[in-house]
Structure 1
Amino acid sequence: MPESSLSITLIEPKADAKVSVAAPAPKNAMQKLLEKLGLKRDIDLALHLPLRYEDETRITRLRDAREGDMIQIEGEVVESEVVYKPRRQLLVKLDDGSDVCTLRFFNFYPNQQKALSVGNRIRARGEVRGGFLGWTMLHPHCKPAGGDLPTALTPVYPTMAGMPQAYLRKAVLSGLARAELSDTFAPGDLSQINPHALWTLRQALQFLHHPTPDVSLDTLMDHSHPAWQRLKAEELLAQQLSQLQSRRARAELRAPPLQGKVGDTLHARLLAALPFALTGAQQRVGFEIAKDMARNVPMHRLLQGDVGAGKTVVAALAATICMDAGWQCALMAPTEILAEQHFRKLVSWLEPLGITTAWLIGSQKTKARREALAMIESGEAKLVVGTHAVIQDKVRFQNLALAIIDEQHRFGVAQRLALRSKASVGPGHGDDKAHPFEPHLLMMTATPIPRTLAMSYYADLDVSTLDELPPGRTPIVTKVVNEARRGEVVQRIRAQVAEGRQVYWVCPLIEESEALDLTNATETHAELSHALQQAAGPGAAPVQVGLLHSRMPTDEKKAVMADFVAGKTAVLVSTTVIEVGVDVPNASLMVVEHAERFGLSQLHQLRGRVGRGAAASACVLLYSTGDAPRLGEAARERLRAMAETNDGFEIARRDLEIRGPGEFLGARQSGDAMLRFADLATDAALLEWARQEAPMMLDRYPHLAEKHVQRWLGTKAEFLKA
């Protein structure tokens, strides 16, 4: 049966089974739910592994039970009644011959009540608790007694509303039986990855779906069991193969060779006009990018650097190489504020050199947008800066050769692919319609990528690293402060403002939420305005406090930001719209309210908004425990990391440990984590094996490599092309 089929034939259903699955057409509701879970192929079902297991292989006598045990008991119902104190509940007393246990149900249906009638023999499984009134179980799983006990642990699968475990178990069992699970590892190479080499894929999956009761549950739950090791090796190999296939496929594509020129070029004039000297890291990275762009295959490079490392000027120099060769360049940023920061900076550098830059955002007036589109299509605009509006259908470039994407992880895969598709045949190649060009692609991120993540998720990219900060950046002192000391923080702000400095105050919300009882930006703005005015005294000039949040009209946001940049506003109360891109050297204090709610990378980005001038700078992380006696473990780890280091690479490493790769990467895979089973923190040896294995397998056994990738990734392999 083909792998794409979703018609499910249940294997050996019990005689009393009430679950049935329709033939291929039409799809019933359960099949639609399976597809929502991503279970579209037999192999998808086979790889849908349990979250945990229940042991229904044995019956425990109540006299042998221990407090807190998860056990299964069997006995006769001796009492069954509905009581109403303190609330409506069904109380069932079950006698197993050694003792009596009370089963308590707060939610129940008439058919459940009937099944638990006096005289019925049942099996009940749940956590047993002791007390003055004897043993109790709250909402145990119950079924009629009798029949053979299972010989394997019962799997509990990830599911969704409307999808019963019983149905899912049978669907997975059916898919596992039909799935094509022949070995795809290269012949003779299994011995390299002991101990899981002893397990075939089918053996590993069958065991993990129905493990024997004598297995160590710890090895199942921490994924250290040899069966898990086999699956993780398979998954990592699939990822490495897909990355390598993507890299090799790109090597077959054509891109315009953008040769660096000598003499009176835009590149040379921009270098001469810059009011600062490039760092050694900027020079090295600029050379790496220029070398890539000079080739006739598309560059696919990630430029990573800590906050303030100077990525924008590197991007500008790359753009001048492109424009010197007679081609257009586009820069896309995830937010209007960040895009505008780039636009202003690039215009200030390039406009004196005679370069016309087009500005393109979603909220643009019709006339301005029409003019920008015309400039882009005619080629008058050599540089285009904007948000996702740059990739809309109506945008037509004359000859795009370089696409720069800032904060690339905040764009979806489809958006990045759409920007790359904007390339067209360029100057000197008018007769080459059969081979349209791909643009060179430079992606930038201010979130440094840990080595294991780069080896895994970014194996198809060339990575350039700005590991040197420009001179003049002052160290930032980070303080973690309890919300109870908020008054002291306000006093610190008064002192900074009195010295002529500027301050950021970042809030996580702009309105009250019942779920998150946080002080909103509007209230904080009013509080700080009042406090600073009182400090100034009667008759003193008012201290201007700005308010910036995402729901404000675009023009109003621009005006608020312009006032802060110009120094008219002393304190800016903002949501995280100022996370990246804002450069105000006079700002020397950053206060992050409810810092425990922010991610580590986000906190590091916010901290990077200060320390850009000569004045000593500080970042205050205000935290609140709410009604809890202390912060949660993850929140404590994040705040501790912020206090201990300013190194973005160390921050990123700890962030990966805390959150895992799926959350760390954000939208790189459109929210769909490419690694479900392997853990980059613990499986580095398997990752290294997969890296070495992939090129050999692709060269010597390409049919096995393709089969392996399709089995594990299916259409997800397309994500890696972005």
Structure 2
Amino acid sequence: MSTRSEALADALDRMGLGSDAALVLHFPLRYEDETRITPVALARAGQPVQVEVEVTQSEVKFRPRRQLVVTAADDSGTVTLRFFNFYPSQQKQLAPGKRVRLFGDINPGFFGAEMLHPRVRTVGEDTALPDRLTPVYPATAGLSQASLRRAIDDALERTDLADSLPEALRRHYALVPFGAAVQALHRPRPGESLRDLDERLAPAWRRIKFDELLAQQLSLKRAHAARRNRDAPVLPQPADTDGSLIDRFLQQLPFALTGAQARAWAEIAADLSQPYPMQRLLQGDVGSGKTVVAALACLRAVEAGYQAAFMAPTEILAEQHFRKLADWLAPLGIQVAWLSGSLKVREKRAMKEAIASGAAPIAVGTHALIEDAVDFARLGVAVVDEQHRFGVRQRLALRAKAGDVSPHQLMMSATPIPRTLAMSFYADLDVSVIDELPPGRTPVLTKLIAAARREQVIERVRHACEGGAQAYWVCPLIEESETLQLQTALDTYEQLVIACPELKVGLVHGRMKPDEKAAVMADFVANRTQLLVATTVIEVGVDVPNASLMVIEHAERFGLSQLHQLRGRVGRGSRESACVLLYEGPLSQTARERLRVIHAYTDGFMIAAEDLKLRGPGEFIGSRQSGQPLLRFADLVIDEALVELAREAADTLLRDHVEAADRHLARWLAGREELLKA
């Protein structure tokens, strides 16, 4: 094998294109039309065209900078070519008298029509034009378009493009044959609509997007079915519920469960009584009361003689869960262990021993829970809060703590999942939704205020705190950044201390030591601090009912989900609450749209649906597929109807055409199926 072939193979491997099957499914980003020649005089500014010209003059100029300047003409007019990066071979290719085809934009210049760095091809008087549009593929350094096109053309010749769908099913969904779709996208004929191809509206694209979604649905549905073949502890409801742990727990709570909480718990309890592992997503808006439902699941494990693990992504959130559970469960005589990276060595050792011996039936912590040195005596239930913040391997590591059996898994999210996303990426999960807020939660008024009125906002905060309320002031950065020029938490803290001398002002941010952070938060919870300046470490889990005012600095820099989570920190008590979004103009179109949505909606599901339209699915899912692209071709907003059809088709294939389902998965997932199962 030549050096060049080895280099090409390495470049293809780096892109995951080491097989013919992968190359066949590596579709173009866009297309260029080299099937026709446009006279120079008829070329429209800013639109890519192909012209065929003869070089009349070529020279290297050094002012204002070194460049190769070429003059060329056809029967209709003259064009100047400029190359700021060029090689001697290009000078030879563009010597006077050479006939060349140029592809690129023609724009008006100081001396007439100009092309900057056009693509150049030497031709003869009778060189034929291509009979197909030219595909432009996603590529990487060291991999030219020409090399990639040759590799894909070779793969197309060697690959069986037989349809994986039964003919009746293909016709039922009005899909073009798979082979025809692949050929149409790699080798589109002249006359095909460039717009339909580039915007993925052509019938061939519909087939490819359907096939991708179908592979995803098949894999997730199989993962869901395979889970039923794994063993899990059976955690049944006691025959006599009076006096049970759960009964005593519910009686001592200072509130009653809402209807939505009771419904979610009933669904979870039914799962826990099965001999196969529960894998349920509990989603509910900010403040809807997911933690108490998770506590019930933990108690069911304890009552059956098992342990429960409760993992959260940040120390502040994990500690909040720990304190809440410890307070609730102390009257029941249940020890709750606390495990985080910041514990002193002696404390950590004691907690690990309590977990390993079973003395602590419930353990709460950060990812410290999944360290190798942490052993559970008998893990039955694993709760993961804000599950999209954990990677696949972290969630699998927690599951592995149960040994030979699989624990029941309850995943929680306060970022509501839009319907299309749930259908597409959570098809292997059962979903429970808490869609009502506990009584006593007050609606939060959202105000958009320009940063120029900052002094008025400070005065409003000072007045509210003097009246007995507490307030948050959230900033996006910890220290000054010359590039972003954002107001920082440190500067804001100093300014507010000066502006509000009668208030106790606190500061909390991610670079503080955990015990410092805990002390600041404890002061705020106890109302020893009236105004808390913070970064987004307070985004989730902080529960201070007396805090009724939040100011978010540079709100235009935050995502919708973050803004909604932050806003949910207020309105938890009986006081009227407000969230002030301070923004700095001029606003980008995206920032303007985000602020419009957060101002218009308080319902998390509506916000999530709008967020999906704005930024796509990636951040909702987290590292679900461990770095693999979530969907390469389908778009969950544009292709919602296709998701529905793919779900339906997956059920049909798994029921009636198992071999076809196998062929389809082999073509589309090629070893990546495991990533969808976590």
TM-score (norm 2): 0.96
Q: Distance in 2 between matches of 1:488 and 1:159?
A: 53
Q: Distance in 1 between matches of 2:66 and 2:463?
A: 60
Deviates more, 1:237-246 or 1:556-565: 556-565
Which amino acid in 2 is paired with 1:584? Answer: V
Structure 2 residue corresponding to 1:224, chosen from 201, 216, 225? 201
Shift of 1:76: 2.2
Q: Which residue of 1 aligns with 2:577?
A: 617
Q: Which residue of 1 aligns with 2:183?
A: 206
Q: Which residue of 2 aligns with 1:663?
A: 619
Q: Which residue of 2 aligns with 1:337?
A: 316
Q: Name the CA shift for 1:159/1:482 in 2 (closer, same or farther; >3 Å).
A: farther
Shift of 1:210: 2.1
Matched, 1:649 2:605: yes
Asked if the contact 1:481–1:621 (Cα under 8 Å) also holds between the matched residues in 2, the reply is: yes
Shift of 1:20: 7.2
Q: Distance in 1 between matches of 2:642 and 2:505?
A: 54
Matched, 1:717 2:668: no
Summarize deviations over 1:474-522 as a string: whole Å, max 9, x none: 1111112222222222222222222122221222221233432222221
Q: Distance in 1 between matches of 2:149 and 2:167?
A: 33
Q: Which residue of 2 aligns with 1:459?
A: 427
Which amino acid in 1 is paired with 2:195? Answer: D
Summarize deviations over 1:450-478 as a string: whole Å, max 9, x none: 22211111111111000010011111111
Which amino acid in 2 is paired with 1:306? Answer: D
Shift of 1:222: 2.2
Matched, 1:599 2:563: no
Q: Name the CA shift for 1:364/1:163 in 2 (closer, same or farther; >3 Å).
A: farther
Shift of 1:187: 4.0
Q: Which residue of 2 aligns with 1:701?
A: 657
Q: Distance in 2 between matches of 1:715 and 1:446?
A: 32
Asked if the contact 1:410–1:668 (Cα under 8 Å) also holds between the matched residues in 2, the reply is: no
Matched, 1:509 2:482: no
Shift of 1:319: 0.7
Q: Which residue of 2 aligns with 1:281?
A: 260
Summarize deviations over 1:269-312 as a string: whole Å, max 9, x none: 11111111111111111111111101111111100000000000
RMSD: 1.8
Shift of 1:170: 2.1
Q: Which residue of 2 aligns with 1:161?
A: 141
Asked if the contact 1:43–1:180 (Cα under 8 Å) also holds between the matched residues in 2, the reply is: no
SS in 1 for 2:65: coil
SS in 1 for 2:45: coil
Structure 2 residue corresponding to 1:108, chosen from 86, 99, 103? 86
Summarize deviations over 1:630-689 as a string: whole Å, max 9, x none: 422222211111000100010111111111122332222224333221222232332222
Summarize deviations over 1:150-180 as a string: whole Å, max 9, x none: 1111111122333322222222223333333
Which amino acid in 1 is paired with 2:465? Answer: V
Segments ≥4 residues shifted beyond 6 Å:
none
Q: Distance in 1 between matches of 2:149 and 2:529?
A: 61
Summarize deviations over 1:182-224 as a string: whole Å, max 9, x none: 2111342111111xx2x22121112112212311122112222
Q: Distance in 2 between matches of 1:388 and 1:30?
A: 41
Summarize deviations over 1:101-121 as a string: whole Å, max 9, x none: 111223333433343333333
Matched, 1:234 2:202: no
Q: Which residue of 1 aligns with 2:394?
A: 415
Q: Name the CA shift for 1:144/1:366 in 2 (closer, same or farther; >3 Å).
A: same
SS in 2 for 1:188: helix
Deviates more, 1:663-672 or 1:567-576: 663-672
Which amino acid in 1 is paired with 2:202? Answer: H
Q: Which residue of 2 aligns with 1:317?
A: 296
Matched, 1:682 2:667: no
Which amino acid in 1 is paired with 2:406? Answer: E
Q: Distance in 1 between matches of 2:492 and 2:142?
A: 43
Summarize deviations over 1:352-381 as a string: whole Å, max 9, x none: 211111111223222222111111111111
Structure 2 residue corresponding to 1:68, chosen from 46, 51, 63? 46
Q: Which residue of 2 aligns with 1:540?
A: none
Q: Distance in 1 between matches of 2:533 and 2:150?
A: 55
Q: Name the CA shift for 1:548/1:164 in 2 (closer, same or farther; >3 Å).
A: farther
Q: Which residue of 1 aligns with 2:464?
A: 496
SS in 2 for 1:670: coil
SS in 2 for 1:614: coil
Asked if the contact 1:298–1:438 (Cα under 8 Å) also holds between the matched residues in 2, the reply is: yes
Matched, 1:562 2:522: yes
Which amino acid in 2 is paired with 1:680? Answer: L
Q: Name the CA shift for 1:514/1:54 in 2 (closer, same or farther; >3 Å).
A: farther
Summarize deviations over 1:11-63 as a string: whole Å, max 9, x none: xxxxxxxx9753xxxxx344333233232332221111111111112221112
SS in 2 for 1:714: coil
Report the identity percentage.
56
Q: Distance in 2 between matches of 1:680 and 1:511?
A: 38
Shift of 1:89: 2.7
Q: Name the CA shift for 1:362/1:715 in 2 (closer, same or farther; >3 Å).
A: farther
Shift of 1:237: 1.1
Q: Distance in 2 between matches of 1:29 and 1:364?
A: 50
Q: Distance in 2 between matches of 1:546 and 1:402?
A: 38
Deviates more, 1:171-180 or 1:58-67: 171-180
Shift of 1:551: 1.7
Q: Name the CA shift for 1:154/1:578 in 2 (closer, same or farther; >3 Å).
A: same
Q: Distance in 2 between matches of 1:331 and 1:177?
A: 53
Asked if the contact 1:357–1:385 (Cα under 8 Å) also holds between the matched residues in 2, the reply is: yes
Summarize deviations over 1:418-460 as a string: whole Å, max 9, x none: 1111113xxxxxxxxxxx3211010000011122211111111
Asked if the contact 1:662–1:672 (Cα under 8 Å) also holds between the matched residues in 2, the reply is: no
Summarize deviations over 1:563-606 as a string: whole Å, max 9, x none: 22221222222211111010111111111122222111111111
Q: Distance in 2 between matches of 1:127 and 1:323?
A: 70
SS in 1 for 2:498: helix
Q: Name the CA shift for 1:367/1:489 in 2 (closer, same or farther; >3 Å).
A: same
Q: Distance in 1 between matches of 2:371 and 2:395?
A: 12
Q: Name the CA shift for 1:38/1:622 in 2 (closer, same or farther; >3 Å).
A: farther
Q: Which residue of 1 aligns with 2:307?
A: 328
SS in 1 for 2:644: helix
Q: Name the CA shift for 1:671/1:638 in 2 (closer, same or farther; >3 Å).
A: farther
Q: Distance in 2 between matches of 1:622 and 1:685?
A: 38
Which amino acid in 1 is paired with 2:487? Answer: T
Q: Distance in 2 between matches of 1:560 and 1:32?
A: 53
Structure 1 residue corresponding to 2:16, chosen from 35, 38, 46? 38
